[in-house]
Amino acid sequence: MAETPEPPTQRAFDGIKSIEDTTTFVGLTYDKLDITASIDRVRSPKAGAVVAFVGTTRDNFEGKSVSTLEYTTYTPLALRTLSTIINSLKSTNPTTLHAISVTHRLGIVPVGEDSIVIALSTSHRAEGWRIAEECLELVKDRVEIWKREWFVDGGVWRANRDGGKGVIEDGGGGDGEEGGVPVEYLEQEDR
């Protein structure tokens, strides 16, 4: 029976790595996420709504008990992709989206803890809900963050999307991938 992994002893960086300006923020961290800080980053006197989405680790996936999630990435690439997404959202919603913040947690994220916080301010709530949902789907679809779901009987690497099929860990595939993650990414800063 496989055991839940111990947290890594050496992290690629401490604190939060981010790209920010006055109305946008993207960040990656190994620390617990600060929801209040995310909301405070996007407050605007122009906004009638501040919308926040918090994604948490649930205790099951497709009927299997999940003990924890583990996220990995190549930080510079993920930050660049996150920035591209939020800049695109700002350019397609220039009069309604006032500020946006996306922070994703890396490393071990136990059941019940937060893995992503998306906060944004908009003129009205309906557009806030719509843009937050669009942002989440773009992050899950495009950002180079991989997760390993740990079950009581082992782990599965998968892209950071709901329902995406994973690769059961069996020591790698010899096809340039390690557990479903391209080796060139894992050999970078956050292995």
Residue 168: is its pLDDT beyond 80? no
* Location of structure tokens 């009205």: 124
Give the span between the Cα atoms of 51 and 16, in whole angstroms: 22
Assigned architecture for domain 16-170+177-186? Alpha-Beta Complex (3.90)
Domain residue spans of the chain = 16-170+177-186
Residue 8: is its pLDDT beyond 90? no
- Which of 154-187 are b and which e, b meaning 16 or more Cβ less than 10 Å from the residue's Cβ? ebbbbbbeeeeebbebeeeeeeebbbbbeeebbe
Mean of pLDDT over the chain? 85
Residues 39-60: tens digit of each pLDDT: 999 999 999 999 999 999 999 9
Residues 98-131: tens digit of each pLDDT: 999 999 999 999 999 999 999 999 999 999 999 9
Q: What is the pLDDT of residue 188?
A: 41
